[in-house]
Amino acid sequence: MSPSASTPSYDALCQRHQRKHRLQHLQAIASWDQAALMPGGGAQARAEALAEMDGLLHQLGTDPALKDLLDRAEQEPLDEVQRASLREMRRVWRSANALPQSLVEAKSLANSHCEHAWRSQRGANDWAGYVENLRPVVRLAREEARLLSEASGLSRYDALLDQYEPGMRAAEVDRVFGDLRGWLPGLIRQVMERQAGETVLEPQGPFPASAQRSLGLDAMRLLGFDFEAGRLDESTHPFCGGVPEDVRMTTRYREDSFLQSLTGTIHETGHGRYEQNLPREWMGLPIAAARSMGLHESQSLSFEMQLASHRGFAQLLEPLVERHLGRQAAFSAENLNRLMTRVAPGYIRVDADEVTYPAHVILRYEIERALMEGEIEVEDIPALWDVKMQELLGLDTRGNYRDGPMQDVHWGAGLFGYFPCYTLGAMYAAQWFAAMRQERPGLDAEIAQGQLAPVFDWLKTRIWSQGSRWETPELVQRASGEALNTAHFRRHLESRYLG
């Protein structure tokens, strides 16, 4: 999209968005540093600096001149890609103009304060202290939801969901999750009964964090991560941040278990490769951004669940694990695959297997939706959590806030409306691989032989390189030949675990 004398308004919009992108680059690195390296004493100053940047970016995004530029650009002779770019610019503009700068800055401060305090409060099982910080986060998120709702005509929760998954509505999530609720508990029971007769060797630790880090880096190389445009560090909660030109990934280590870090690193590598392969020719414009968080999660889950938990992929992992952690019988490819596909209800979402994982997401979705719609208050969360964990996974979480409603960073960081994206992502990932197998019947044999390029090439062509050129339903149709079809996810789970 090179500048043209006949599109002055569109070109002016591009220049403004590219300036915002450069500032967002600095903001992203400051946020990464806040989570990964910043000393505790810097928390307040960093929170204030990030709030200042949020305010500045909001000013740029709500400049009164933008409306006229957007309207004039509509009349200019734009090509198809420029039209899509303008559509995304207008979507970003509408969202920004729904919120006053004072709210944007207040949210940033409250979220930073709550997230920083959460790091120590979670370990101390300090729900009472956490609630004091969470209450203002929820109050401001509800105000954001109200204003976005009034501007868009959507329900309050839909208005938040739309920020992460444009076009998705709670009614559709209810339909999809309602279907899951119907067959998932039975599948969990069936798989656990089948696996009960299997012999699984437990790896014998300890596993030094330094060796786990080296193993994770080798796995990232196997999966094609570009270390000239990104790096791996450590944080309380694993994440992928930064910008496409400088991707910052984090993981965490436990010396008694290496698989949590390895699978977490592989998960974040999926996010990282999506970011690194977004269309550079559009960089700095909204059209170059990842289309949605559901599609983002489809990439991390394509790597973690579809690939890393694939029986053939374990043959690629075996020599890497032995190189960094030594030789033991538990590191055989067959045993590694059994370890990575064990199904058992657990407390922690990020450590959950792919069969029980959707139950964790359904629980959070049902609670956060009621919280944002004003049907419950922060104080009601633990009791609801306990009931739903018992109902969905048969686990007792009473009094265990650390492994219950305090385990995730999302709510403390104000990310309401995000959780459904994880299971939508799992469904998209299953659909991507179903389409790949239809095109390449020998795909599974190729994966076992270490020929991963067909997977990466498919994802790059169909997903990564498209950015936000297409709205989600069209992107899904173009990539896989059909609309989101949840049957692929069920078939994937039944084939892998009961086949």
Catalytic residue numbers, as ranges: 268
Beta bridge partners of 248: 231, 241
Beta bridge partners of 231: 248
CB–CB of 43/116 below 8 Å?
Answer: yes
Q: How far apart are CA 24 and CA 469, in angstroms?
A: 21
